[in-house]
Each structure stands twice: as structure tokens, then as C-alpha cells.
Amino acid sequence: MATDPDCLFCSIAAGSMGVEFVYADADVVAFRDIAPKAPVHLLVIPRQHFRDVRELAGDPAAGAALLAGVAAVAEQERLPYFTTVFNTGAESGQSVFHVHAHLLSGSGQIWAHG
Ligand code: 5GP
Ligand code: ZN
């Protein structure tokens, strides 16, 4: 499994940062965002290193596992609704270049377009 020794989220997924997992399975881990933007703000990440969703798209099984992880976390945490965000590229606000789903809930509509 490809990991990057210089990547913060690879280190978190490996358990070496002491971050508590809200959810973990063979493919993904989820933990609380250090700077929450909503009452519930979790990050769901693959254990394997992918830079962003574009790179993740090259491994459809890993992409499906990440989405399954999002759904599993939401079910475990009994979230009746949630918003999922993937920032891609620094200009979008991506600051950690290990793909992560922001899973936000608990304050109604969080994001809208148009
Ligand atoms: P991005 O801006 O890349 O889409 O999201 C990165 C997220 O990771 C941010 O919301 C930021 O608060 C969170 N974050 C950065 N460093 C840490 C950390 O060390 N621990 C945790 N739990 N979250 C972090
Ligand atoms: Zn990584």
C-alpha cells in the first residue's frame, strides 16, 4: 500500500500522531477536523496515499471504498443528513494533499451553488 512518509494524513492513518479515530476499517479512517466548520466536521481518508480526487479516480476500488467509508461513518454517527466536500487544488482551499472527504452536518444547509 502506497504511503508517503512526509504526509500528515498518512501519519494520522498509521496511528502515529495519536489522533482518535471516530471510524476505521481496512481501507479508510475518519477523525474530527481540528478546526471544525460545523457542529459535526469529520475527515474521512483512505489509508493509502492519493494526492486528490483526480489521483484517486485512477483507482476505482479505492474511490468506492472511500465513499463507502463516508456512508459507514454517517450511519455509525446517526447523521440523518450531511454535506461532503472534496477540495482539489490549493486555489480551492486544499491544504493537505492526501485526499480527504470533509463530512459536515448539524447546521442545516452548509453549501449551496448559484
Ligand atoms: P483542506 O483545506 O485540505 O480541504 O482540509 C484540510 C483539513 O484538515 C482542514 O479542515 C484542517 O482543519 C484539517 N487539519 C489540518 N491538520 C490537522 C490535524 O493535524 N489534525 C486534524 N484532526 N485535522 C487537521
Ligand atoms: Zn498521505
Please state, as a whole number, how many other Cβ atoms lie within 10 Å of the Cβ of residue 57: 12
Local structure of 114: helix, strand or coil: coil
Task: Output the CA–CA distances (angstroms, integers) from residue 91 to 85, 87, 95, 96, 101, in the order listed.
Answer: 15, 9, 9, 12, 17
For the chain, give the mean pLDDT: 96
pLDDT digits (tens, 9 = 90+) for 2-33: 999 999 999 999 999 999 999 999 999 999 99
pTM, full prediction: 0.97
> Does the annotation mark 98 as catalytic?
no
Average pLDDT estimate for 44-68: 98
Does residue 88 line the site of ligand 1, with CB under 6 A?
A: no
DSSP 24-43: E-SSEEEEE-SS-SSSEEEE
Ligand 1 proximity of 26 Cβ (cutoff 6 Å): no
Task: For residue 45, give the nearest of 75, 60, 24 by alpha carbon.
Answer: 24
Q: Residue 100: pLDDT above 80?
A: yes
Q: Does ipTM top 0.90?
A: yes
